[in-house]
Amino acid sequence: MKINKTFVSIVSLFTMLMVLIHTPLLAQDVPAHAITNVIVHMADGSVVENSNIVWRNGIIEQVGVNESIPFDAFVIDGGDSLHVYPGLIDGLATWGSPDIPRDLPRLENPGKPTYDRAGAQPNRIPAHYLNEDKSIEAAMKAGFTLVSLGLDGQMLPGHIQPFNLSAAKLTQAHAFSDPLALQGSFDTAPGSWGSGAYPSTQMGVMAYFRQLMYDASALQEHMMYFENHSDMSQPEQNDVLEALFPLVNREYPLFFEVDSKEEIERMFRLQDEFGFEVVLVSAKEASALSEELKARNIAVLASLDVREMPDWLEKEIKETEAKDQEKSISSDDQADNQDVKKMELTEEELVFRLKQKQAWQEEINNLATLVKSGIPTGFTSDGLSPNEIQKKINLVTEYTSLSKSDLIELMTIQNANILGISNRVGAIKEGNSAHLILTDGPLFEKGTKIHVQVSQGVINDFMED
C-alpha cells in the first residue's frame, strides 16, 4: 500500500500545532502577581527601597530593585511610598475552637473518668474542629497571614496546626501543614463542685500526665511486638494514647501554656522525666528562670497581655516630669515636696505601692528580659483579641527596651523558627511562600493602615474598609 508522505506530514504538523495550542503555558495557567515600587522590610531589619516583589502560585519568585515584571502579572503599584512587611504569625491561638462543655453531669466514679472528662484529648486535630470566629477576619485586617491553631480544653486539648489566613472562614483546605506539636497545660479536669473529676489538682494533673505517657509507651511496645509475634494478643486501639506516640518518641514538641515560676519549674520536672522538647506558651514569669531556660534550649511564645501601669505610679511619673521642667523650682524644693507627699501615705500604703511597682516592672519587662537573655522568643496572642494587640505593643515599647522593629521580628521570623516552618515563611525571599502585608507607613506606628494582606499568595484588599 502506497502512503502519501505529503499528507502524513501535513497531518503531523497539524497534530503538533493542536498539541501546542491545547498545552497550557505556566504563565497563562497560573498568572503572576507583583507589588512594585515599594519599601521592603527584610527579616534582618534591613530596608530596600524602590523594590519589586513577584510571586506565582503562592511562591515568591523575585525580590529586589529593577526586577522584571512578567507580562501576565496582576500588578499593585506602591508608588514609592508604601511599605511591605513579612506577614505576621500568631504562634498560638484558639480561634474557631469549640466551646468547652458546661453543666457536665455528675459522674458515678469521678476518680476514674473517661479521657475527655479528665481533660486528655490529644487525639483532636484543629482541622476537624473549625468554627466561624470573627477574630479570624480581625486578625487578617491586623496584618496576620498565618496562625498556629490550638484548641480550648484542659491538660491535653489536642494538636497544634498552622493555617493560612487567606479567608475569614477557615476550612481544612487552608491548612498550611500537618500538625506540628501537641498542646498542654496544668489545667484540671472540667466540671464544678459536684460534677468534677480526677485530676482536680495540679499535682493530680502531673500524676495523670505521667500515667498517660507510661501507658502510651507500653501500648506502642505492645503494638511493635505484636507485628512480629502473631500468637500474642492483639493490642486494643486507643486513639488517645496513640496520639501521644510522637511525644513519647520525642518527634513532637509539647507547647505548654504556663505562667508562674513555680509551674514552669514543675514543667521542667516532666521534661527531665520524659525528655521531650518543650515550648513555653504565655510564660509571664519566665524571665525569672531565663538562665535555666537558656541552658535547656527552651523557646518561649510570650504573651503581650500585660497590665497598664498603676494609676498612682503614672500620676507620680507625670508630676515628676512636670516639676523637672519648671525652672523656678530648685532641686531642694522638689526633694522637700516629694518627702511631704510620702509622709501623707501610711507605711502600709508605701509598702504596698513598692511591691505593686516591682510586680508591674517585672511583668512589663518579662519579654524584653527573655530577648536580652538570648532565649528563642516569639509571640502568642494568648487570648488577646487582634484589636487589643496594638494597644499592648504601644505599652511594651513605651516602658521597655524593645522597639516596634523588635516585636515585628518576634511576630515573623522568630515565630517561624519556633514553629519549625522558617524554610517557608517569616521572611520575604525567593522560594518562600508569599505571606506579605502592604501598609501606608511603618508598621505599628500611629495612623498606619494595612492596605493589602497576602496569605499563601491570596490577596485580601482592605483599602476600602
What is the per-residue pLDDT across 423-432, written as a single tens digit (0 to 9) for each?
A: 999 999 999 9
The verdict on residue 350 lying in a domain is: yes
Question: Mind giving me the DSSP string for 212-239?
Answer: HHHHHHHHHHHHHHHHH-TTSPPPPP-H
Same-domain status, 153 and 267 = yes
Same-domain status, 382 and 276 = yes
* 22-26, 252-256, 310-314: least confidently modelled range: 22-26
Under the banding of pLDDT at 50, 70 and 90, the label for residue 465 is low
Same-domain status, 223 and 247 = yes
| pLDDT for residue 334 | 55
The verdict on residue 281 lying in a domain is: yes
Q: Is 60 helix (H, G, I), strand (E, B) or coil?
A: strand
CA distance linking residue 385 with residue 144, whole number of Å? 12
- Answer yes or no: are the C-beta atoms of 434 and 60 closer than 8 Å: yes
Q: Which domain holds residue 339?
A: 311-359
Residue 328 has pLDDT above 60, yes or no: no
Same-domain status, 148 and 202 = yes
Residue 73: CATH number of its domain: 2.30.40.10
Same-domain status, 330 and 402 = no
Under the banding of pLDDT at 50, 70 and 90, the label for residue 325 is confident
| pLDDT for residue 345 | 84
Smallest CA-to-CA distance from 418 within 176, 180, 122, 186 is with 180
| pLDDT for residue 327 | 54
The verdict on residue 367 lying in a domain is: no
The structural domain count of the chain equals: 3
What is the share, in percent, of the chain residues with pLDDT greater than 90? 75
Same-domain status, 272 and 349 = no
The CB density around residue 85, as the number of other CB atoms within 10 Å, is 25
The verdict on residue 25 lying in a domain is: yes
Same-domain status, 410 and 460 = no
Smallest CA-to-CA distance from 323 within 314, 313, 335, 312 is with 335
* 12-21, 55-64, 104-113: least confidently modelled range: 12-21
Query: DSSP letter at 127?
Result: G
Residue 409 has pLDDT above 50, yes or no: yes
What is the share, in percent, of the chain residues with pLDDT greater than 70? 89
Under the banding of pLDDT at 50, 70 and 90, the label for residue 324 is confident
Which region, left, alpha or beta, applies to residue 445 given φ > 0 means left and ψ of -120 to 50 means alpha? beta
The verdict on residue 244 lying in a domain is: yes
- Of 108 and 206, which is predicted with more confidence? 206
Residue 378 host element (H or E): strand 377-380
* 228-237, 274-283, 330-339, 372-381: least confidently modelled range: 330-339
CA distance linking residue 219 with residue 234, whole number of Å? 11
Mean pLDDT of 175-192: 94
pTM: 0.89
CA distance linking residue 428 with residue 35, whole number of Å? 12
Residue 251: CATH number of its domain: 3.20.20.140
Same-domain status, 302 and 321 = no
Euclidean distance between the first and the last CA atom of the chain, given in angstroms as a whole number? 75
- Answer yes or no: are the C-beta atoms of 162 and 177 closer than 8 Å: yes
Residue 260 C-alpha cell reads as 508562674
Same-domain status, 321 and 464 = no
Same-domain status, 123 and 102 = yes
Same-domain status, 14 and 61 = yes
Under the banding of pLDDT at 50, 70 and 90, the label for residue 45 is confident
Same-domain status, 228 and 338 = no
The verdict on residue 176 lying in a domain is: yes
| pLDDT for residue 16 | 40
Residue 58 has pLDDT above 90, yes or no: yes
Which region, left, alpha or beta, applies to residue 191 given φ > 0 means left and ψ of -120 to 50 means alpha? left
The dihedral through the CA atoms of 201, 207, 212, 215 has a sign that is negative
Question: Mind giving me the DSSP string for 386-431?
Answer: HHHHHHHHHHHHHHSS--HHHHHHIIIIIHHHHHT-TTTSSS--TT
Residue 445 C-alpha cell reads as 506606628
Query: DSSP letter at 172?
Result: G
Main-chain phi, psi angles of 31, to 5 degrees: -60, 150
The verdict on residue 434 lying in a domain is: yes
CA distance linking residue 391 with residue 387, whole number of Å? 8
The verdict on residue 365 lying in a domain is: no
CA distance linking residue 24 with residue 30, whole number of Å? 9
Tell me the average pLDDT of the chain. Answer: 89
Residue 370 has pLDDT above 90, yes or no: yes
